[in-house]
């Protein structure tokens, strides 16, 4: 079976050493454990990477990111930012890597290889303190975030299926 070059990226962002800041990485890793996606979809642990993300965004047809985002809402609030709404919201960063992400998006724009669809599924963090564990409020929203990933992929007509039947 021939592998197609990835045209879609699903990227989990965040620093897993800073409690809720790691929610994007944890969520995307859990999504990958549970779901299968076509070969043209690349699932990426983006961590707190900056410019290293360019190859996973530039020239892709669609990019879906999951991250902690400062929505100025209560902890656990979930929303999605798409296309032109992303730079405006990320100027109020929830974390240091948002500056790096803004740089990456600016470089991608200058290259002219902007994805047709760019979406960040974000959750308002409660704590960005040092620690490996997410707060209960954010941990309890993991299922909502995974459902939002599945929903966005289906909206984009990208098939995904559970690896194992739910009990």
Radius of gyration of the chain (CA): 15
Rounded to the nearest angstrom, the gap between the alpha carbon of residue 135 and the centroid of all alpha carbons in its chain is 19
Is residue 1 in some structural domain?
no
Looking at the domain assignment, is residue 35 inside a domain? yes
Is the residue at 118 inside a domain? yes
Residue with tokens 């779901």: 35
Instruction: Please indicate, yes or no, if residue 57 is contained in any of the structural domains.
Output: yes
Assess if residue 63 is contained within a domain. yes
Tell me the C-alpha distance between 132 and 158, whole Å: 32
Q: Whole-angstrom Cα distance, residue 31 to residue 51?
A: 24
3 domain-assigned: no
> Domain range spanning residue 53?
8-162
For residue 96, being part of any structural domain is answered with yes
Q: Identify whether 15 is part of a domain.
A: yes
How far apart CA 163 and CA 42 sit, in angstroms, is 17
What pLDDT tens digit does each residue of the chain (167 aa) get? 555 678 999 999 999 999 999 999 999 999 999 999 999 999 999 988 788 899 999 999 999 999 999 899 999 999 999 998 887 666 554 454 555 777 888 888 898 888 999 999 999 999 989 999 999 999 999 999 999 999 999 999 999 999 987 65
Looking at the 3D structure of the chain, how many domains does it have?
Answer: 1
Q: What is the CATH number of the domain that holds 104?
A: 3.40.50.1450
| CA quadruple 145, 147, 148, 152: dihedral, nearest 10 | 140
């Amino acid at each position: 079976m021939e592998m197609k070059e990835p045209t879609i990226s699903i990227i989990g962002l965040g620093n897993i050493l800073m409690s809720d800041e790691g929610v994007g990485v944890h969520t995307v890793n859990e999504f990958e454990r549970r779901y299968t996606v076509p070969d043209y979809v690349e699932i990426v642990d983006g961590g707190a990477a900056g410019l290293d993300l360019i190859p996973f965004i530039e020239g892709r047809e669609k990019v879906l990111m999951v991250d902690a985002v400062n929505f100025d809402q209560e902890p656990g609030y979930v929303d999605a930012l798409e296309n032109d709404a992303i730079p405006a919201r990320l100027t109020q960063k929830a974390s240091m890597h948002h500056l790096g992400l803004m740089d990456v998006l600016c470089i991608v724009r200058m290259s002219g290889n902007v994805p047709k669809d760019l979406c960040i599924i974000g959750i308002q963090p409660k704590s960005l303190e040092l620690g490996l564990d997410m707060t209960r409020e954010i941990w309890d929203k993991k299922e909502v975030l995974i459902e939002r990933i599945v929903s966005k992929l289906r909206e984009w007509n990208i098939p995904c299926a559970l690896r194992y039947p739910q009990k």
